[in-house]
Amino acid sequence: MWGVSLQRRCLHHSFCLMKKQKGKTPAEQRWLTRQLKDPYVKASHAQNFRCRSAFKLLEIDDKFRVLQPGDSVVDCGAAPGAWSQVAVQRVNSAGTDPELRRGTVVGIDLLNIPPLEGAHFLSSHDVTDPATHAKLLELLPNGQAHVILSDMAPNASGFREMDHEKLIVMCLSLIDLAERILQPGGSLVCKYWDGILVQKLQGKLSSVFGSVRTLKPNASRKDSSERYFLARMYRKPVR
């Protein structure tokens, strides 16, 4: 009986897939097939996350407890907003003293970020622009963040080295941002694509953070060069 209902569901699933794939290029068809089979895509629909990347941050935070109730968090490259959803959940706890445990989440993206209760979004803003840093100073309590998250990525050109370099430059700009808004002892989670400049980024992070570790969450696709640095115990450089 179970076998028959599963067979029906599979036939229905294949039919939907065929309908969705009509008129698509082979690359688009491969992407769609992968999306439809992906357990994290299914889970993100079931749990109302805006995209599967939510599970990367959930995994990192479950293991390392980066986001604490009451924290102020800046989410760089926030669109469509799944990491901000996770951050809003984690920094606002239903504890006994809600005032003390109400956190702040500010998301920034070049693109439009649909509104999310509990978050403040700076859509059409560039994280690397000093004008954005100035706005952040106004939005964060005392102009300070406990955590900077970055899942930023440039539009991939298809040239691996070039894309890697672009993303490393973006990650390096987060060190300038940290100097302006990250409080001593704070943390940074940032995505990078593996390549020759990773050691340079790691070195720069290690010069201002007490610990830097490399992470590859299970939700990050195995065939992707995507990795994350988790840098903790920020030390503000003395100028």
Ligand X SMILES: C[S@@+](CC[C@H](N)C(=O)[O-])C[C@H]1O[C@@H](n2cnc3c(N)ncnc32)[C@H](O)[C@@H]1O
Provide the binding-site residues for ligand X, judged by CB under 6 A. Answer: 50-51, 53-54, 77-83, 108-111, 126-128, 151-154, 170
Any idea what DSSP says for residue 17? H
Token reading at 87: 């951050």
Q: How far is CA 173 from CA 31, 91, 169, 198, 201, in A?
A: 31, 25, 6, 14, 10
In the complex with ligand X, the residue whose CB is nearer, 72 or 150, is: 150
With vertex at residue 171, the alpha carbon angle to CA 169 and CA 173, rounded to the nearest 5 degrees, is 70
Q: Are strands 182-193 and 226-234 parallel, antiparallel or unpaired?
A: antiparallel
In the complex with ligand X, the residue whose CB is nearer, 59 or 126, is: 126
**Least Å from the CB of residue 42 to ligand X:** 17
What's the rounded Cα separation, in Å, for the pair 234 and 231?
8
User: By the 8 A CB rule, do 119 and 105 touch?
Assistant: yes
Token reading at 97: 């003293």
Any idea what DSSP says for residue 195? S
Catalytic residue among 191, 204, 222, 236: 191
**Least Å from the CB of residue 77 to ligand X:** 3
> Residue of minimal CB distance from ligand X?
77
**Least Å from the CB of residue 153 to ligand X:** 4
In the complex with ligand X, the residue whose CB is nearer, 61 or 151, is: 151
**Least Å from the CB of residue 185 to ligand X:** 24
In the complex with ligand X, the residue whose CB is nearer, 121 or 209, is: 121
Residue 200 is a catalytic residue: no
H/E stretch holding 174 reads helix 160-181
User: By the 8 A CB rule, do 91 and 116 touch?
Assistant: no
User: By the 8 A CB rule, do 170 and 38 touch?
Assistant: no
Query: For residue 192, how many other CB atoms are within 10 A of its CB?
Result: 23
In the complex with ligand X, the residue whose CB is nearer, 50 or 146, is: 50
Positions marked catalytic: 191
